[in-house]
């Protein structure tokens, strides 16, 4: 009996010891520095190829524009299936991977939130940590709603019972997103953005959530709060804002980004986009850049089709390789050569590409990937004001004029308030969004909410190596078949999205 009792005591003592070569629940979540490490683990999931940029042949946030009339992308992420009516629940690629990517981020956030109270620090600091995590959760859930509609809603770390939770309504998820963002706006610091979410990050995301759901008054309110905060402004150099040189702490335009720092946190954007030319820019976008006088190219005698950059919106030269002979580090003799290596259009993207680097397989690029910036906030404010019938010269000067001045326009015809009807101003604002935010991954969402995807895909002008067809019976991406199968194996019916 004595031996038996001693054995029980010994086993219990042994089981209470923790491994010395790894972190464990029993030894972690003791200090504020460990809270910071946990929060960093949440931010780290933004390094997914779908949120930012991967290494070598992985994906890139820029590729999202291949779902629009801006880009052509041949093989990556099964985008071709997504734009030719072949998408199904088993396709894989972006439509499948993004679902799990967003939920993995949400899971990390929920686990983090369940542990914060284990550490004894003051409540104000805890509220800030919670607010940063809830900002990331709101971002992920909004992306899910945009692409899949109503999804399972996990408000806290999932239990065994939660593992088979069914779909929540889109309205319930949206309400949860707003609750998270209201909390973050109240508890995040009112400081300049340097990598951690701040109050203007949350205000800007809240403005986007409102805008995308047609809440014009809400978009005006929260975009207006960013504008009046005194903490952000347009950065002086448009092109360098997407390169290391323009992404320092003096850049007060960036409000939310995925931060990289080589040699450990790096991606392969320069070799993928610069050397390997993973995508091509469609002529439809190139033709949509206005002349320096602010006119469509077909309406301005100053336009010379033999010199694409001449007398054009300066953002064309800063965003697209399109001029034969342009200095190009990969061909120092001839410069940029359209259709090089059999490419299907004459144009490739320049935004985010360091034109001074001859990138190779060993190049470790670390440009930060921008998810929200002040120019987007200004355009959201302008659009919402116009939809409310409140767009006037004052709003123009607060938004569109500032953006065009930063771009390099100098003539009155491009800078002065054009007047006109609400519908005419709507087209001007939408055009400005396309040009200013090209290759930043949000035009697809714009076309969806404007209900213009079908007509824009059907009306791609000029060289177009792929006919894109939008199936209106499938307004959302399919829930991945693996998820449907999992639920069915547990005797639960999980409704698939319409059309699949």
The per-residue DSSP string of 170-234 comes to HHHHHHHHHHHHHHHHHHS-SS--SSS--HHHHHHHHHHHHHHTT-HHHHHHHHHHHHHSSS---
Q: What CA–CA distance (Å, rounded) separates 397 from 416?
A: 8
Across 132-136, 412-416, 468-472, least confident range? 468-472
Quick one: pLDDT band at residue 25, thresholds 50, 70, 90?
low
Q: How many CB atoms lie within 10 A of CB 11?
A: 10
> Alpha-carbon distance 167 to 496, whole Å?
10
pLDDT given at position 162 = 65
Nearest to 260 by CA among 375, 363, 364: 364
Per-residue confidence (pLDDT) for residue 270, from 0 to 100: 94
Give CA separation, 183 vs 81, 187, 213, in Å.
39, 6, 20
Confidence class of residue 20 from pLDDT cuts 50, 70 and 90?
A: very low
Nearest to 234 by CA among 374, 376, 405, 396: 374
Q: How confident is the prediction for the chain on average, in pLDDT? A: 92
Which tokens is 117 given? 């109270």
Which pLDDT does position 355 carry in this prediction?
A: 94
**Which residue did the predictor score with more confidence, 164 or 482?**
482
Looking at residue 386, what is its pLDDT? 98
How many CB atoms sit inside 10 A of residue 489's CB?
A: 9
Residue 326 reports pLDDT greater than 80: yes
The average pLDDT across 179-189 equals 98
Query: How many residues does the structure list for the chain?
Result: 500
Q: Answer yes or no: is pLDDT of 449 > 90.
A: yes
Give pLDDT, residue 422: 98
Widest Cα–Cα separation across the chain? 103
On the question of pLDDT at 27 being above 80, the answer is no
pLDDT at 39 over 70: yes
Q: What does the alpha-carbon distance between residue 175 and residue 215 come to, in Å, rounded to a whole number? A: 13
Rounded CA-CA distance 407/156 in Å is: 44
Tokens at residue 411, please?
């003539």
**340: helix, coil or strand?**
helix
CA–CA distance, 105 with 136 (Å, rounded to integer): 8
Q: What is the pLDDT of residue 304?
A: 92
pLDDT at 302: 85
Residue 133 has pLDDT above 70, yes or no: yes
* Number of Cβ atoms within 10 Å of the Cβ of 247: 21
pLDDT digits (tens, 9 = 90+) for 53-110: 988 878 899 999 999 999 999 889 999 999 998 999 999 999 999 999 999 999 999 9
For helices 170-187 and 123-148, the axis angle rounded to 10 degrees is: 150
* Per-residue model confidence (pLDDT) at position 499: 92
Write the pLDDT tens digit of every residue in 229-256. 999 999 999 999 999 999 999 999 999 9
User: How far does Cα 76 stand from its chain's mean position?
Assistant: 18
pLDDT at position 58, please? Answer: 82
Predicted local confidence at residue 54, as pLDDT = 86
**pLDDT of res. 373:** 98
Residue 80 in 3-state DSSP?
helix
What are the angstrom distances between the C-alpha of 411 and each of 117, 286, 477? 58, 21, 44
Residue 26 has pLDDT above 90, yes or no: no
Number of alpha helices (DSSP H) and beta strands (DSSP E) in the chain: 19, 6
Residue 7 pLDDT > 80, yes or no? no
419: Cβ–Cβ under 8 A, 6 or more apart, which residues?
A: none
The whole-number pLDDT of residue 456 equals: 96
Residue 14 has pLDDT above 50, yes or no: no
**Coil, strand or helix at 62:** helix
- How far is 93 from 78, CA to CA, in rounded Å? 5
Q: State yes or no: pLDDT of 17 exceeds 90.
A: no
pLDDT at 52: 93
CA 248/CA 240 separation, integer angstroms: 11
pTM for this model (two decimals) = 0.93
Residue 272 has pLDDT above 70, yes or no: yes
């Amino acid at each position: 009996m004595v031996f038996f009792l001693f054995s029980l005591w010994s086993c219990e003592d042994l089981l209470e010891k923790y491994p010395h070569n790894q972190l464990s629940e029993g030894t972690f979540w003791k200090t504020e520095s460990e809270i910071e490490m946990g929060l960093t683990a949440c931010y780290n999931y933004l390094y997914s190829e779908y949120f930012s940029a991967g290494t070598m042949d992985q994906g890139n946030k820029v590729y999202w524009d291949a779902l629009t009339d801006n880009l052509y992308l041949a093989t990556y992420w099964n985008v071709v299936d997504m734009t030719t009516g072949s998408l199904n629940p088993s396709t894989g690629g972006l439509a499948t991977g993004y679902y799990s990517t967003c939920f993995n981020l949400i899971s990390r956030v929920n686990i983090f939130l369940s542990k914060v109270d284990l550490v004894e620090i003051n409540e104000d600091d805890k509220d800030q940590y919670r607010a940063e995590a809830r900002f990331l959760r709101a971002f992920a859930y909004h992306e899910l709603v945009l692409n899949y509609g109503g999804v399972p809603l996990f408000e806290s770390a999932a239990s065994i019972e939660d593992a088979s939770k069914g779909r929540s309504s889109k309205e319930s998820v949206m309400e949860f997103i707003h609750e998270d963002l209201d909390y973050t706006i109240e508890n995040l610091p009112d400081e300049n953005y340097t990598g951690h979410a701040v109050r203007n990050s949350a205000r800007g995301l809240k403005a986007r959530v409102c805008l995308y759901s047609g809440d014009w008054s809400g978009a005006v309110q929260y975009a207006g709060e960013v504008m009046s905060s005194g903490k952000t402004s347009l950065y002086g150099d448009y092109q360098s804002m997407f390169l290391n040189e323009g992404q320092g702490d003096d850049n007060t335009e960036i409000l939310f980004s995925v931060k990289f720092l080589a040699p450990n946190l790096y991606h392969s954007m320069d070799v993928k986009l610069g050397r390997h030319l993973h995508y091509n820019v469609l002529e439809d976008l190139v033709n949509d850049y206005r002349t320096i006088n602010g006119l469509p190219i077909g309406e301005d005698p100053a336009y010379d089709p033999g010199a694409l950059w001449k007398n054009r919106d300066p953002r064309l030269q800063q965003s697209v390789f399109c001029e034969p002979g342009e200095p190009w580090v990969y061909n120092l003799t001839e410069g940029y050569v359209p259709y090089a290596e059999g490419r299907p259009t004459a144009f490739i993207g320049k935004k985010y590409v360091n034109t001074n680097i001859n990138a190779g397989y060993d190049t470790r690029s670390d440009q930060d990937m921008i998810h929200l910036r002040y120019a987007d906030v200004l355009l959201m404010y302008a659009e919402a004001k116009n939809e409310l019938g409140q767009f006037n010269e004052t709003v123009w000067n607060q938004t569109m004029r500032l953006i065009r001045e930063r771009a390099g326009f100098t003539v009155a015809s491009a800078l002065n308030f054009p007047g006109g009807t609400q519908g005419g101003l709507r087209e001007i604002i939408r055009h400005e969004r396309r040009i200013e935010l090209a290759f930043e991954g949000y035009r697809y969402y714009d076309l969806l909410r404007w209900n213009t995807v079908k007509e824009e895909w059907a009306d791609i002008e000029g060289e177009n190596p792929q006919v894109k067809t939008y199936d209106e019976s499938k307004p959302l991406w399919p829930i991945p078949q693996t998820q449907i199968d999992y639920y069915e194996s547990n005797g639960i019916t999980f409704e698939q999205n319409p059309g699949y």
